[in-house]
Structure 1
Amino acid sequence: MILEWICIIIYSTSLVMILFYAFAQLNLLFNYLAARKNTVDGPTFNLDNPAEIPYVTIQLPVFNEAYVMERLLDNIVLLDYPHEKLEIQVLDDSTDETVVTTKAHVEKLAATGIDITHITRENRVGFKAGALKEGLVEAKGELIAIFDADFLPQTDWLKKTVIHFKDPEIGVVQTRWGHLNRDYSILTQIQAFALDAHFTLEQVGRNSKGHFINFNGTAGIWRKETIIDAGNWEGDTLTEDLDLSYRAQLKNWKFKYLEDVTTPAELPIVISAARSQQFRWNKGGAENFRKMFKRVVSSSNIDFKTKLHGVLHLLNSTMFLNVLIVGLLSIPMLYIKNEYAHLRVYFIVMSFFVISTIIFFIC
């Protein structure tokens, strides 16, 4: 009976964890619905006044992007923003022939009067975080916009985002991801569905109540001062964006999420690429839980509810593990149910946890 009890305890623990996460999602849904009725906004820059236009550096961290590099550069230079207040850094860590072709394309664009530079490193220490950190040293802008290679911001993107930095407490403005190839396949439709849930219910639900959200690694813009104050980019996790986001918010910097500003991008179209992306996001989330958990729960400047949502946010990848455990243990649990009649009450109580499935379905 020892093995049976071990199975019951592990199974019950996973069900409880899933239920907590489900209730958190339901709370975010209520927050999201309430936020849609709230149209109050903060102060914004008047970009018609040249004195109020902030200097922006756009950072493009790239690595062996042979198929999208030219499209990325040609799209970025179309951004509608005063050229005298705009700098573009191509942070190129590539190890293939694209280093040469990208350099040539950058030089061609620079010859037209655009302030664009091609920055390479001999040592790829820190990977993306290291490239962003090195570029920051030379960055002229007080605001730092970041785009991955497969993102294509619309021409008015900067004008819609930089205006919110008039509030000196705002450290980051994040925009919603769009999907250029949503209908390419069932795989892309599933990915788009999951990302849409994150970029609507979760990001708005957390941000509207002042809970911690995350810069999503791209399609957002940082105040340079915020990056420095939070300790700069660190490459000790696979999700350096989540790491810096939490360190910045623990320093009382505010994040602003713009659901109505969409930045289109391409989703992975093959399962190997999607699996690689999910591995990076989930392992990075777990690494950040290990790194940030104590800092979040011990912080004296955030309330209990924000701490709870923050911990569950960092535990997001663990929810998939709990679902797997419940699925695998459901078979021995059926055996236990049939063999041990005195546990009937336990299984009746366990039926309550079907509410988790109902909540997730509603969300």
Structure 2
Amino acid sequence: MRAVVAVLLFVTAAHAALWGGLRDKQQAPDFRGILPSVSYSPFDGTGHPDVDNFPNADKIRADTKKLAPLTRAIRLYSSTGGVEMVPPIANEVGLKVTVGAWIDKNVDRNEREMLSAIELAKRNSNVNGIVVGNETIYRGEQKIEDLIKLIQRVKGSVNVPVTTGEIWNIWIEHPELASSVDFIAAHILPYWEGFSEKQAVDQALIIYQKLRDAFPGKRIVIAEFGWPSAGYNLKSGTPGPFEQAVTLRTFVSRAEAIGMEYNIVEAIDQPWKFFEGGVGPYWGFLNAAREPKFAWTGPVEDPAYWKLMGIALLVGVLMSLPIFRLVQPTVMQAFVLSAAANGVGAWVATVFAYWTGHYFVFGSAFALILGLILLVPLVLIAMARIEEIAAIAFGRNPRRLLVKGLPAGPLAPALEDQVFPKVSIHVPAYFEPPDMLKQTLDAVSRLDYPNFECVVIINNTPDPEFWQPIQDHCRALGERFKFINAEKVEGFKAGALRIAMERTAADAEIIGIIDADYVVQPDWLKDLVPAFADPRVGLVQAPQDHRDGDRSLMHYIMNGEYAGFFDIGMVQRNEFNSIIVHGTMCLIRRAAMDMAGGWAGDTICEDTDLGLAIIEHGWLTHYTNNRYGYGLLPDTYEAFKKQRHRWAYGGFQIVKKHWRRFLPGGSRLSPDQKREFALGWLNWLGAESLGVLVAILNLIWVPIVAFADIAIPDKILTLPIIAAFLVSLIHFVALYQLRVPVKTGQMLGAMITAMSVQWTVSRAVAQGLITEHLAFARTSKGGFSIMSVEFQAFWEAVIGVLLLIGAAVLVVTNNYKEVREIYVFAAVLVLESLPFLSAVAIAILENSRINAFAFWRNTGVRTAELIGLRPVAMQALPGPINAPQPVASEVRQELSGSV
């Protein structure tokens, strides 16, 4: 533990040093004077001024008192809706006011605005000018000649200078507009032109000089210059608190040096301007609480930086504490886990900074909260996968794996005399091909174990062509084999196994379960039954494997996908006595089964249900990754998906059935066991369902992002999704390389296969939420099933293509803005499309010519060998395991006719 403590302290110190080294502290010119003018809007909150955001005199009075020490004048943009209260109140603190008259296409409103502006200029001596319209020409609200008429009308009614506010290029393009005003009020906002913060001031001065050259002798006022403190980038323009502070301080200093007249936009953040895109609310140098965002003198720095660092370190330390529950973790293992925990801490601090530094309307707040809620399980899943990577790559070797029936290492019990408790092997079957089932029974008859029986139960299969040959075969195999043909059995496979228990020999101490397609090795019982010499052991599980992986390329990669679960996940879960019982190749102590209540028919995964119940009663379980039996893979991709759907639906049924037993005192489960099962469900059912849900939600967001000028914050929402995907990718590749003895090509195929069932699993979970029971669906095996004419990835194709189209729409619509957050969002959509497109790829592969591992005429070279997915020479498995499947001759004939 001392080494672990040292590692945690080292990582925490390195994390703190990283924060210290990355602390941004910039220099900018000091400004100790008073600003000549700032834009001011007396509105508060997120309500639109035209609807429900009406200022009051007290609020305006407080604002003007706040602004009086900072500026000599304020610029308004309208003269109605409560804004007309500003000039007289501003006069109380000595502020000059440039009155604005808002002009758009509403003739009646325009009339009210102009009349109010004229009246304010006449009644308030501190009004120093009127601005008729704000970017009215730029927005296309008025024609040039019509706006000039409005300006001339106001000029004839007041004794103060009158102008209009327009973007700088409008003035140059329309010199007749400049001739109609008393002074040019030009807006120069380099951010909206895509300039960087480093170019902004130079660009403003260049344009100012261009205006002076174009209109010599004319008074020129830069009526708007500013930089946003938050929001998305626009080409090279990057908003931010540092960028705003340095840009404004530099501009003010240089403007003062050349005697420029200018107005800063704006004084106070306006959260209601969310319709102006992500930067709209953030142009103020005071935030919405009327607090300064930066100092006008001294270094520019973030005063909340150390608070954020504290949050990051605290979360990192807290999330590192579970390392102490590990048994003898290695230094590298602890380092990887602590580094990952501190990475999550840094993300949490980033989320906190974003939440406290932004304004939210209901929709944006809801979207952000929903996104964060969905990210929490995603982060937990990523952390669980990192933990597994650390354990396998850098941790200690497994200590509980069975070797010849005994746990490896110091946990092995001492056996003085070999004993042979009676084993009753149960083989349930439902419409199984008789020849396949005969192979299974022949293999059982060859078991090198002196004390066993075999109970074969065929249920709900009235056709004698399926059960009569098996009955005859059991008679031929001898009295050890009991045959049962049961009709109208309820409870699916569990119901059949309950009947088998009733016909089990009274002296049988151990129950063995194998599926009808499994050919067991002779040493299965001899090797594994000795583990039951420890009276605490209630269950021993051997892995599944398959003998028909060379039927096609699809079966080859499917077999690789199955292997990952049995060589990675099950081995790690076994270390915590938390294995998933998967029915076949399973040995169960009869006493443990009775204590757990036997086979239950209320789930369609009766094996996993019973296994969990046995563990909940405190029994030990053991696992071996040595192969003792070989079954058959699903015949088709359709069958593979149906099997995975059944497993997922049954898994969700088990969650609903057992969750109360995970509460304190609900069972004898240890904290480690509860954690393993909870994370296992989250990692499988949750990850797949979450992936589909997030993908669909992101699709809904595409038009909003593309056309409503809204970007999704990458640092807190989209980049974590990419990081989680990379963790999953590393997790799969690294652990396959370390634990699963397959070739690289088969591993990549297994990855595609694993991704391809995301939609299938999520559908099962969704059905589990709204239904209690679905019918048990038998998995078609043995090469006798007929391939469906329907395309087996229709909905996956629809969603996958929509995600790609969404990404393309985002890229195309973003080309003129070049917002990085939108590009990142588009990349996320592409990544989210991969599981759906994987299903499409396998469905297409299944029907393609390259899928067949066919013999070329007069050669022994197979397709898989030609493309390098496996070596030419394959070690043959003994006996019936290599028996040719019925499909092989059909494929051979079909392809020989086409070659």
TM-score above 0.5, yes or no: yes
Aligned to 2:379: 19
Residue correspondence of structure 1 range 198-213 to structure 2 within 5 A: 198-210=565-577, 212-213=578-579
CA distance in 1, matches of 2:467, 2:566: 33
Partner SS, residue 176 of structure 1 = coil
Aligned to 2:501: 136
Aligned to 2:449: 81
2:559 is aligned with 1:192:
yes
- Aligned pair partner of 1:117 in 460, 474, 482: 482
2:413 is aligned with 1:43:
yes
Partner SS, residue 581 of structure 2 = coil
Q: How far off its partner does 1:255 sit?
A: 0.8
Aligned to 2:676: 309
CA distance in 1, matches of 2:608, 2:655: 10
- Aligned pair partner of 2:609 in 243, 250, 261: 243
- The aligned amino acid for 1:353 is I
2:595 is aligned with 1:229:
yes
String of CA shifts for 1:33-72, please: whole Å, max 9, x gaps.
545354414226567x4xx111111110111112411211
CA distance in 1, matches of 2:441, 2:669: 41
CA distance in 2, matches of 1:302, 1:3: 43
- The aligned amino acid for 2:600 is E
Aligned to 2:158: none
CA distance in 2, matches of 1:21, 1:109: 50
CA distance in 1, matches of 2:523, 2:574: 23
Tell me, yes or no, if the aligned pair for 1:11 and 1:325 is still in contact at 8 Å. Answer: no
Structure 1 residues 15, 238: CA separation in 2 closer, same or farther (over 3 Å shift)? same
CA distance in 1, matches of 2:414, 2:391: 24
- Aligned pair partner of 2:626 in 239, 260, 264: 260
- The aligned amino acid for 2:635 is I
CA distance in 1, matches of 2:416, 2:481: 26
Tell me, yes or no, if the aligned pair for 2:661 and 2:667 is still in contact at 8 Å. Answer: no
Aligned to 1:285: 651
Q: How far off its partner does 1:274 sit?
A: 1.0
Q: How far off its partner does 1:337 sit?
A: 4.3
Aligned to 2:427: 60
CA distance in 2, matches of 1:31, 1:169: 27
Between stretches 10-19 and 151-160, larger displacement belongs to 10-19
Q: How far off its partner does 1:275 sit?
A: 2.0
CA distance in 2, matches of 1:61, 1:46: 36
String of CA shifts for 1:105-135, please: whole Å, max 9, x gaps.
111112xxx4111012233111211111221
CA distance in 1, matches of 2:561, 2:726: 17
Q: How far off its partner does 1:232 sit?
A: 0.8
CA distance in 1, matches of 2:721, 2:663: 27
Tell me, yes or no, if the aligned pair for 1:230 and 1:244 is still in contact at 8 Å. Answer: yes
Tell me, yes or no, if the aligned pair for 1:79 and 1:157 is still in contact at 8 Å. Answer: yes
Tell me, yes or no, if the aligned pair for 2:512 and 2:587 is still in contact at 8 Å. Answer: yes
Partner SS, residue 282 of structure 1 = helix
TM-score (norm. length: structure 1): 0.89
Tell me, yes or no, if the aligned pair for 1:129 and 1:233 is still in contact at 8 Å. Answer: yes
- The aligned amino acid for 2:440 is L
Tell me, yes or no, if the aligned pair for 2:514 and 2:586 is still in contact at 8 Å. Answer: yes
Tell me, yes or no, if the aligned pair for 1:44 and 1:166 is still in contact at 8 Å. Answer: no
Aligned residues with identical type, % of pairs? 26
2:701 is aligned with 1:333:
yes
Alpha carbon RMSD of aligned pairs, Å? Answer: 2.4
String of CA shifts for 1:62-90, please: whole Å, max 9, x gaps.
111124112111111111111xx111100
Q: How far off its partner does 1:281 sit?
A: 0.5
Q: How far off its partner does 1:206 sit?
A: 1.1
Structure 1 residues 22, 193: CA separation in 2 closer, same or farther (over 3 Å shift)? farther
CA distance in 1, matches of 2:489, 2:662: 30
Tell me, yes or no, if the aligned pair for 2:424 and 2:454 is still in contact at 8 Å. Answer: yes
CA distance in 2, matches of 1:269, 1:4: 48
CA distance in 2, matches of 1:347, 1:156: 56
- The aligned amino acid for 1:68 is M
Between stretches 263-272 and 9-18, larger displacement belongs to 9-18
CA distance in 2, matches of 1:177, 1:105: 25
Partner SS, residue 119 of structure 1 = strand
String of CA shifts for 1:170-196, please: whole Å, max 9, x gaps.
111101112212243343234323322
CA distance in 1, matches of 2:368, 2:707: 14
CA distance in 1, matches of 2:427, 2:560: 26
Tell me, yes or no, if the aligned pair for 2:615 and 2:669 is still in contact at 8 Å. Answer: no
Tell me, yes or no, if the aligned pair for 1:56 and 1:145 is still in contact at 8 Å. Answer: yes
- The aligned amino acid for 1:233 is W
Unaligned runs of 5+ in 1: none
- The aligned amino acid for 2:691 is V
Unaligned runs of 5+ in 2: 1-360, 400-407, 732-899
Q: How far off its partner does 1:310 sit?
A: 1.3
Aligned to 1:358: 726
TM-score (norm. length: structure 2): 0.37
- The aligned amino acid for 1:70 is K
Tell me, yes or no, if the aligned pair for 2:523 and 2:628 is still in contact at 8 Å. Answer: no
CA distance in 2, matches of 1:157, 1:80: 8
CA distance in 1, matches of 2:457, 2:521: 21
Tell me, yes or no, if the aligned pair for 1:297 and 1:307 is still in contact at 8 Å. Answer: no
- The aligned amino acid for 1:105 is H
Between stretches 185-194 and 257-266, larger displacement belongs to 185-194
Q: How far off its partner does 1:340 sit?
A: 6.6
2:642 is aligned with 1:276:
yes
Structure 1 residues 18, 187: CA separation in 2 closer, same or farther (over 3 Å shift)? farther
Count residues in correspondence. Answer: 353
Tell me, yes or no, if the aligned pair for 2:424 and 2:455 is still in contact at 8 Å. Answer: yes
Structure 1 residues 15, 170: CA separation in 2 closer, same or farther (over 3 Å shift)? same
Between stretches 277-286 and 329-338, larger displacement belongs to 329-338
CA distance in 2, matches of 1:137, 1:35: 44
2:512 is aligned with 1:145:
yes
Tell me, yes or no, if the aligned pair for 2:541 and 2:623 is still in contact at 8 Å. Answer: yes
Between stretches 63-72 and 247-256, larger displacement belongs to 63-72
2:574 is aligned with 1:171:
no
Structure 1 residues 285, 301: CA separation in 2 closer, same or farther (over 3 Å shift)? same
Tell me, yes or no, if the aligned pair for 2:616 and 2:667 is still in contact at 8 Å. Answer: no
CA distance in 2, matches of 1:190, 1:95: 36
String of CA shifts for 1:121-170, please: whole Å, max 9, x gaps.
23311121111122112322101111001111111111111011111111
- The aligned amino acid for 1:356 is A
Q: How far off its partner does 1:31 sit?
A: 4.0
Partner SS, residue 118 of structure 1 = strand
Tell me, yes or no, if the aligned pair for 2:509 and 2:589 is still in contact at 8 Å. Answer: yes
CA distance in 2, matches of 1:341, 1:151: 59
Tell me, yes or no, if the aligned pair for 2:398 and 2:571 is still in contact at 8 Å. Answer: no
Structure 1 residues 143, 90: CA separation in 2 closer, same or farther (over 3 Å shift)? same
Structure 1 residues 239, 61: CA separation in 2 closer, same or farther (over 3 Å shift)? same
CA distance in 1, matches of 2:373, 2:685: 16
CA distance in 2, matches of 1:45, 1:126: 40
